[in-house]
Structure 1
Amino acid sequence: MTTTDTTAPTRADAQALDAADPLATFRERYLPMDADVVAYLDGNSLGRPLTSIAESWQSFTAQQWAGRLIRGWSEGWMDLPERVGDELAAAALGAAPGTTIIADSTTVNFYKAMRAALNLRPGRRKVVLDRHNFPTNRYVVESLARDLDLELVWLDPPIEGGVTPDDVAAAIDEQTAVVTLSQIAYQSAYLADAPAITRIAHEAGALVVWDLCHSVGSTEIELDAWDVDFAVGCTYKFVGAGPGAPALLYANRRHHDRLDQPIWGWLGRRDSFEMEQGFLPAAGIRAMMSGTPPLLGLLGVREGAAVIAEAGIGAIRAKAIALTELTTAYARENLVPLGFSIASPLDPARRGGHVTIARADARELSARLIDAGVLIDFRAPHGIRIGLSPLPTSFTEVWDALDVIRRLS
């Protein structure tokens, strides 16, 4: 099923795709949904829980927490941010051991990464960013501009698209310190050309900070091969680590001897338990740590990384493309005639793991869809995001949800 087909996909087509799906058995790894849910299409905001996460939390509580008590910190808990970071890096980030930690929220990690990048480019005052990036990213950069007297260079791509290499090349100059973008746009699902944009930034002497929130666990990422400087991303979407699970932070190894981030916490200091006066950063990626690790969230990330590694990120990406192709084909034939537009790229090579459809009454329609058991995500002003998490989602489930959208429209 491709977006060049001229007939709408049928439910039998969706069932045939399920029968041929090499990842179909992974759906059994997830805890069941309530019986009133027709389809869960918001995995790009909050992933469904793996059965193994519940088991991991229960085991940790009963054995390690209850059994080992305070001794657990010296028996491996303190090392989990780096160990689980390595596991996620190997499964989904294309990053070598020792370059990734799991700690804090995406917002905190983004702030730390931005400040670390800016500190590596003293004397440069410009930051390139786009107006349609996730609000937190924009707000953090605006606060940095206020505090550090930076000049913000705003890119304004179409809301149904995203930032191109040409856009960045036209905006960057010798005063640019940092370019920061999302690899996958949270509204349109536009998949940016991360290696090309990174290369353009480096040619101008600037650094890049990539937001991977909508790409980690849904598409292939090669942070080391692309020579990315810093990257952050949440783990509760396609990784499925649980609500508010700690985020990832990647720093290229070539920067490790000069990492200077602003939230100096005791776990980012060398010899943390010596409790010495003054801050001396730890060696390597641990210098980006701040506070005490959130252990239950880390265990969720570990389980999510393990299932991604088992399925293979290439196979996951292939299914994401197939799911979004089914969705765009159905929408073109059955929803566009009802006044919807497809507010995501039609080229699967430039589309991430969700599809946005738009109509003026999207806010009201979204509420009715949720009441009908189709759990989607409204995004102002007129977007309905259809999140297509490849491992727990079936093609038939998606078709059924799309047919509900058609009938309620």
Structure 2
Amino acid sequence: MGRDAGHFHPSGDACVQHCVRVRGLRIARINYRFTRPVRGSLVHAIPSHPLLRFALAALATVAIALPLNAQNRGTKLPDIGSSAGQVLNPAQQSQYGAMTLAQLRHYGYVLDDPLLEQWLQSVGHRLAANSDKPKQAFTFFLLKDRQINAFATLGGYIATNAGLVLAATREDQVASVLGHEIAHVTQDHVLRGVERAQRDSVPILLAMLGAIMVAQSSGGNSADDASMAALSAGQALMYQRQIDYTRDNEAEADRIGMQTLSRAGYDPKAMAEFFTTLQSWVRANQGGERERTPDYLQTHPITVTRISEAKERASTMQSGSSFAAPTTSNPALPGNLRLSTASLAPAGTGEFGWAKERLRVLSADTPAQAVREYEQMRTKAPLDDAQQYGLALAR
């Protein structure tokens, strides 16, 4: 997600537009307009030196970006004394999450399909029921994007890209990612990230601005160099503090998410398994125009240490749970398949295989693209029943 910078109109009116983007599309806009400077305000204090004007603009951009960036990052921490709930109350969090989903749907990013929605909800709610906060409301939805990614936002709204499901070889791997994102919600990582960014950014920004003004007062080229050094140092400090907090969140979400995964009856080894799959994908696509790090790895970096810790943790757990997941019989699925959350079957068998191939077709740019994908698969091995269903659906 990115943001548009502020714009200042030639008429003298200042208009700052804060725009949230998803893969290049603007999905939300908040305008702040000031028709004239207020006496004693910062507008009168803005210096004429171009470097200082640049510095102020950069500082404003960082101040806006950090709180929203924090929600995409991520030992159970006790909630005693936490002030995260003071940032937004539960009703406001739910409203924000609903608005995010509505905007994504408005721009055509959401994949609305009753069968796929029922499958994803069954997996997600089974995990949620076995989380640390089983009464927490969750909304799970699919995005058409073929990039490997998933994210949690305020109000328990969790998005999963089509690309992530297509990269998985069994449902347990998808469940491991959902369990991780659920942990971000139950541990208030989003709220705590926003709160921390708000708390840290103002003092650092003021210190940066003060250092720049002191440097500029001395004049000369060395002053410009000193100003840029102060600006860079301040930005680096803010990003480093954010990265440190992110690492803590990710480690906690891995641990809590794996516990949820195991309690819900999924294979806890699936988390390390999917990490290894992603790592192999990156290695296979290194070099040339094909090289691109999956979006999921931008905010969830995978290291050897993280994989080994996941494997070690999984070795102490057993899959299986007494939780009875609700099941339904859906006549719209081939063979009247039962949609349940019992999902230890590999891709291509059971409901996961059918859901995956349906998703492959519905997330393709065109039906012809999906047909070409199946034809390419057929050159490597005969298509299984689920893949045959996908090919028929694409045609």
Normalising by the residue count of structure 1, what TM-score does the alignment of the two structures yield?
0.21
Normalising by the residue count of structure 2, what TM-score does the alignment of the two structures yield?
0.22
Q: Kindly name which structure, 1 or 2, has the bigger radius of gyration based on alpha carbons.
A: 2
| Greater share of residues in helix | 2
Relative contact order: is structure 1 or structure 2 higher (C-alpha 8 Å, sep ≥ 6)? Answer: 1
